[in-house]
Amino acid sequence: MVDVSGKQSSIREALAVGELLMHVSTARLILAGNADKGDVLGVARLAAIQATKSTHLLIPLCHAIPVESVTVVFTWPDQESNSEQAVLRCEVRVRTSAKTGVEMEALTAVSIGCLTVYDMVKAVDRGIQIRTIQLLEKSGGKSGDFRRS
């Protein structure tokens, strides 16, 4: 692990995003709350939050840090009305006051949130694609701010 013992704690924040591409009928099932396993987005939101707290257990050299705030938002971006595919976007913002950043926590949360959606509806749509998981922005720390253009 990288030695962060000499670093000062500071406010650090990261925003990550991922998308799921699925059949429109699957999106309708999720929106209606009729999936066999229950409230897909509610469970996926909880899974994403839980993932932030477990990141250091999943990624070998990641520091265990105090996660002080997690916001998980699922949205359905506008799409063409004649499209057979729907896109579900998962955004996670993580915040802490620590000696190291929360990029990995945000990325892990998005990954687990998307995987949870897949798990909850895979019986009706095994062709769901999880794509474009990426860091959009981060702030705080010695390396400064980052914003994807």
The per-residue pLDDT for range 63-121, each reduced to its tens digit, is: 999 999 999 999 999 776 668 999 999 999 999 999 888 999 999 999 999 999 999 99
> Is domain 10-147 in CATH 3.30.70.640, yes or no?
yes
Residue 123 is given by DSSP the state: T
Domain ranges of the chain: 10-147
Q: 15-38: per-residue pLDDT in tens?
A: 999 999 999 999 999 999 989 999
How many other CB atoms sit within 10 Å of the CB of residue 67? 19
Residues designated catalytic: 119
Q: What share of the chain is helix, strand, coil (3-state, %, to 5)?
A: 30, 30, 35
